[in-house]
Structure 1
Amino acid sequence: MSTFLYRKRSAVEATLLTIVMMCVHERTEVSFDDCEVFITVAQDERCRITVKLSIQYGAPVMAVCCELQRQIAEEIAAMTPYVAETVNIVVKRLVMP
């Protein structure tokens, strides 16, 4: 039996999560089903994003991660008043295409 704590997301967290998932979903090299997003929101309209994901074997891992970091930070800045202080991409594993 597994237990977990459920905390209701704020509107800000839900919005940021939606933006992050839209960016991840656009990447064909990423396994969308195996993605975790962690968001920390500060009072001064700053946030920290951590995305844990799996990438298809053979994809240029560093290029995909760098592009995803850039895209997430830009989309958050364009769509919200928040600034992404950090966007951390953690590759959990490589998966076969």
Structure 2
Amino acid sequence: MQRGENAVNTFRYRKRSAVEATLLTVVMMCVCEWEEVVPDDCEVFVTVSQSGGCHITVKLSIRYGAPVLAVCRQLQQQIAEEIAAMTPYSAESVDVTVKRLVAP
């Protein structure tokens, strides 16, 4: 492995805080409930602010034929509600991006 490569991997795979890990778990629980979403092809990014809020970004794949906009809107709402119910944090933003459509 080259020296530059190692530096990138060290940064990319830094250890998550307990808060980040908890919020990630809550988000993935929500994502896994949707049969229209492919959970194995999902990326979640969590940013926690000092004020007790968090910003969630979810990049996912949806099965072809699913109502994409409706799924994304409902998933945004569900994630925000579950974070508020299960943690002392509030989701200031939940951004959902569809990376690709997957054949059924």
TM-score (structure 2 length as normaliser): 0.90
SS at match of 1:44: coil
Mapped to 1, the partners of 2:71 and 2:42 lie a distance apart of 15
Give identity over the alignment, percent: 72
Find 1:26's aligned residue among 28, 33, 41: 33
Question: How big is each residue's C-alpha offset from its partner over 1:39-68, in whole Å with a ceiling of 9 and x where there is no partner?
Answer: 000111100000000000000000000000
Task: Identify the match of residue 48 of structure 2 among 41, 55, 66.
Answer: 41
Which structure 1 segments of 5+ residues have no match?
none
User: Which sections of structure 2, spanning at least 5 residues, go unmatched?
Assistant: none
Flag the structure with higher helix content. Answer: 2
Q: TM-score, normalised by structure 1?
A: 0.96
Which aligned runs of 4 or more in structure 1 are off by greater than 2 angstroms?
A: none
Q: How many residue pairs end up in the alignment? A: 97
Q: Kindly name which structure, 1 or 2, has the bigger radius of gyration based on alpha carbons.
A: 2
- Over aligned residues, Cα RMSD in angstroms? 1.1
CA distance in structure 1 between the partners assigned to 2:34 and 2:27 by the alignment:
11
Superposition deviation, residue 80 in structure 1: 0.6
